[in-house]
Structure 1
Amino acid sequence: MPSIVRHYPFSRHHAPPRYALVYVLSILINLQAFLVAYSNSTYLEQFTTAEVVGLLYTVGSCLSILIFLFISRILKKVGNTKFTLSIAAILLFSLLVMGTSTFTPFIITFFVIFLVASPLLYMSLDVFSESLIGNNEASTGSRRGLALSLMSLAGAAGPLLVALLVGDNDANLTRTYLAASVAGVAFMTLTLVHFRQFKDPKYKEVRIMHTLQTFFAVRDMRNAFLTHLSLQMFFAWTIIYIPLYLATEIGFSWDKIGTIVGLGLFAYVVCEWPIGWLADRAWGEKELMASGFLLLIVTTASITFLSATTIWPWVALMFINRVGAALVEVTTESYFFKHTKGTDANLISFFRLTRPLGMVIGSLVGSAALLYLPFNLIFVVFGFALVPGMLLTTTLNDTR
């Protein structure tokens, strides 16, 4: 990944793997994640309360951030292939425990471990990706674009598979963890076979204080970071609270919840490339970003007032909601990377921390809201919490 990697050639005695393997690994890693991402909160609520579920996400994300800050030292010592296989094995074991155990302390402990390890596996895949691209930066956009599209497709397929696996019996939620384990075994097998001779690049340390000073000194970069952080908070709410709300308050079974979530996620597959094209050639990021935030605010708050017990109104709302998320995701990333260079390694590293940091803040906001409000009203709180993100877009200097 650009944040910690300096390009370094593969060994002359072993041909490097083809980049197509990154596409396959991207599909497997996202399929594994999305087979359980949206059902985790519903499953855990069988063993604890919704407020505690939010706090578990906070703890796991905080630990993940802590490890990420020292990841360069770990990679220097063990190498990316061993690190990837170790993290994949930890995830596999955690999934198997959650899918087979009925002992609450075990399930909660390994769920937190799963939360800590998941972002690290994405990062290790990024290292393979950057090293295979090498110095051919001209191909970065197209290759990453295809990888993101395939990951979005796998992400949308995950909840639809959950609907088939679980049906109308929530007791079958354990099947999703076992299915995710199969994807994990395939990921480990491909990594072991094809990246065994991977020659590690030179890893660079993340300079935290210097990066913070740079962010606060450059207004556009700081505000792009904060808008992306707002989006990551929204992602935390969609993963933790929307499925739980649909299951416990609306009364949908998981065959319906999986269909609602899966069809909603197809908005990313349909919209992300056209949004990037418009941002580059037509309107620029600022207008599209503001439009995305407006859609997110309105549709997130609207969840409070929708009580339909048929799936199609929910599918429509979730799809429009994810169109807003796609608008913000593509434009915040595009805007940020147009203001950085490949040599701005520490800035890019810090930008990547928005994902676990957004999970920490988002889960804390959700847990606090549930302490004082009925479940349906927390989505109004979430909508208002996104308003600062929209206001920040007005301060950005547009790229067109």
Structure 2
Amino acid sequence: MFVAFILGFLDAFLIYILSSYFSELTGVGNIGLFYFVAYSGVFFSLFYLQPLIRAIGKARSLYLFLGITILASVFLTRMEISWLAAMLVLVFIITTNLIWVVLDILLEGFSKDRMSGRIRGLHLTILNAGLLAAPFLSTVALERFHFEGIFFLLVIGYIFVFLVVLIGFRNDNAVYQQKLSLRHTIHKMFYQKNLLRIYAISFALEFFYVMMIVYMPLYLRSLQFSWQDIGIIFTIMLIPFVLLQYPLGILADKRMGEKELLVSSIAIVFGSTFVLGFLGAQDLWLWAAVLFTTRIGVAGIEILRDSYFYKQIDGEDLDVIAFFRTARPVANIIGAVLSAGLLFFFPLTSIFFMVAGVVFLSLFVALSLRDTRSERELGI
């Protein structure tokens, strides 16, 4: 759990300013190209993750990806923004995404199905507590030390994580002999319709994330907000993740199941994201309030998605977990293509309407889910 806290902080320390890094090379209209390449790499890497874990074990896979991340960060501390540096950033994005997937697999090994909401809620709450202060601190660091300083701090952070996991997971290096094909995994996903439906909801959530992470900082900068103002807005915006996810996980386990809460959360995200398309004022507190509202819904979707999914599988379903996490790279790839086409004809605010449309479609998917039974319904 401590590892999740530190990794959450390190992740958020870069992601909200990364679009600014790429835009200095290509301009706002073409930054989708970098995300397309990076998440295409993540997507294809996930299909090789299960054979890798089967060969060297979960812990050694985690060490490998952390080592590559540290090495890429070290080089980036000595490089100004350039095409070569951008290629290293793409490697960094791929390995950090794979780190999270391996941690997911490790966590699932300790989970019980009827407690998935609580376990996942606690995990996400700790992760997001680390994430909370990072946007403000990273924007301050960016103004003072530029991107070279950002990557220097990331080197220190990831070395610390590497040492912690080296000690914490040293006895978790079992390898797996079972060999599963991609065809078998896809068949399993399509055979279990509710897995496919929660995957679609996960896609909508990840689509929201990538569009907001990439374009929201750029839009706020276009409204003349300083990086320090943006850091304040984003810190306020992220508070619901810390306050809501663990209670929602308990509620889903003990009282209601996930379906009703998911539908409500999606409706909140749709309404508040649609409103974003009409905001053009340079009002820090107005933006903080509306973005805070979007994250009330997003925090709900994130914990309820994970809780529902992990109640359908167990820790041996490495292939299904890896396939489920392809929702992020798929959303990034499709988002990069759609946003590039949209921005060719329409202003930046059109992104918010597109995201609202995708979230709205996921509402119908959520309504078709077969709900899980809570402890109260099971008489436990």
TM-score, normalised via structure 2 length: 0.88
Aligned to 1:286: 259
Shift of 1:185: 1.5
Q: Distance in 2 between matches of 1:381 and 1:127?
A: 32
Task: Go from structure 1 to structure 2 and tell me whether the alpha carbon gap of 1:331 and 1:85 turns closer, same or farther (over 3 Å shift).
Answer: closer
Mean Cα displacement is larger for which, 379-388 or 202-211? 202-211
Aligned residue for 1:39, secondary structure, equals: helix
Percent identity between matched residues is 24
Aligned to 2:163: 189
- Give RMSD over aligned pairs: 2.6
Quick check: 1:223–1:393 contact (8 Å CA) kept in 2? yes
Q: Distance in 2 between matches of 1:206 and 1:262?
A: 42
Shift of 1:183: 0.7
Cα deviations across residues 270-324 of structure 1 (Å, max 9, x unaligned)? 1112222333344432222222222212222222211221311111111110111
Task: Go from structure 1 to structure 2 and tell me whether the alpha carbon gap of 1:284 and 1:80 turns closer, same or farther (over 3 Å shift).
Answer: closer
Q: Distance in 2 between matches of 1:80 and 1:336?
A: 20
Aligned to 2:220: 246
Q: Distance in 1 between matches of 2:236 and 2:360?
A: 26
Tell me if 1:315 matches 2:288. Answer: yes
Task: Go from structure 1 to structure 2 and tell me whether the alpha carbon gap of 1:143 and 1:364 turns closer, same or farther (over 3 Å shift).
Answer: same
Q: Distance in 2 between matches of 1:220 and 1:128?
A: 23
For residue 30 of structure 2, the aligned residue among 52, 70, 93 is 52
Shift of 1:80: 4.2
Instruction: Give 4+ residue runs of structure 1 displaced > 6 Å after superposition.
Output: 135-141
Tell me if 1:218 matches 2:192. Answer: yes
Quick check: 1:170–1:254 contact (8 Å CA) kept in 2? no
Aligned to 1:15: none
Cα deviations across residues 119-157 of structure 1 (Å, max 9, x unaligned)? 1112333455456x4x98888765554332111101112
How many residues were matched structurally? 373
Tell me if 1:394 matches 2:367. Answer: yes
Quick check: 1:286–1:394 contact (8 Å CA) kept in 2? yes
Aligned to 2:11: 33
| Structure 1 residues 64-143: aligned runs within 5 Å | 64-129=42-107, 133=110, 143=119
Q: Distance in 2 between matches of 1:210 and 1:192?
A: 33
Quick check: 1:33–1:180 contact (8 Å CA) kept in 2? no
Aligned to 2:377: none
Tell me if 1:155 matches 2:131. Answer: yes
Cα deviations across residues 210-231 of structure 1 (Å, max 9, x unaligned)? 2323333333332222112111
Task: Go from structure 1 to structure 2 and tell me whether the alpha carbon gap of 1:288 and 1:213 turns closer, same or farther (over 3 Å shift).
Answer: same
Gap runs ≥5 in structure 2: 374-380
Q: Which amino acid is the alignment partner of residue 148 of structure 1?
A: L
Aligned to 2:230: 257
Q: Which amino acid is the alignment partner of residue 46 of structure 1?
A: E
Q: Which amino acid is the alignment partner of residue 208 of structure 2?
A: F
Q: Distance in 1 between matches of 2:291 and 2:68?
A: 33
Aligned to 2:149: 175
Gap runs ≥5 in structure 1: 1-22
Q: Which amino acid is the alignment partner of residue 228 of structure 1?
A: S
Aligned to 1:8: none
Tell me if 1:208 matches 2:186. Answer: no
Aligned to 1:12: none
Aligned residue for 1:399, secondary structure, equals: coil
Q: Distance in 1 between matches of 2:253 and 2:106?
A: 28
Quick check: 2:53–2:175 contact (8 Å CA) kept in 1? no
Quick check: 1:72–1:204 contact (8 Å CA) kept in 2? no
Aligned to 1:14: none
Shift of 1:82: 4.2
Aligned residue for 1:397, secondary structure, equals: coil
Q: Which amino acid is the alignment partner of residue 260 of structure 1?
A: I
Quick check: 1:57–1:115 contact (8 Å CA) kept in 2? no
For residue 231 of structure 1, the aligned residue among 192, 200, 205 is 205
Q: Which amino acid is the alignment partner of residue 102 of structure 1?
A: E
Quick check: 2:56–2:173 contact (8 Å CA) kept in 1? no
Shift of 1:184: 0.9
Cα deviations across residues 227-252 of structure 1 (Å, max 9, x unaligned)? 121111111112111112112x2121
Quick check: 2:108–2:315 contact (8 Å CA) kept in 1? no
For residue 165 of structure 1, the aligned residue among 133, 137, 141 is 141
Q: Distance in 1 between matches of 2:112 and 2:363?
A: 36
Task: Go from structure 1 to structure 2 and tell me whether the alpha carbon gap of 1:94 and 1:341 turns closer, same or farther (over 3 Å shift).
Answer: closer
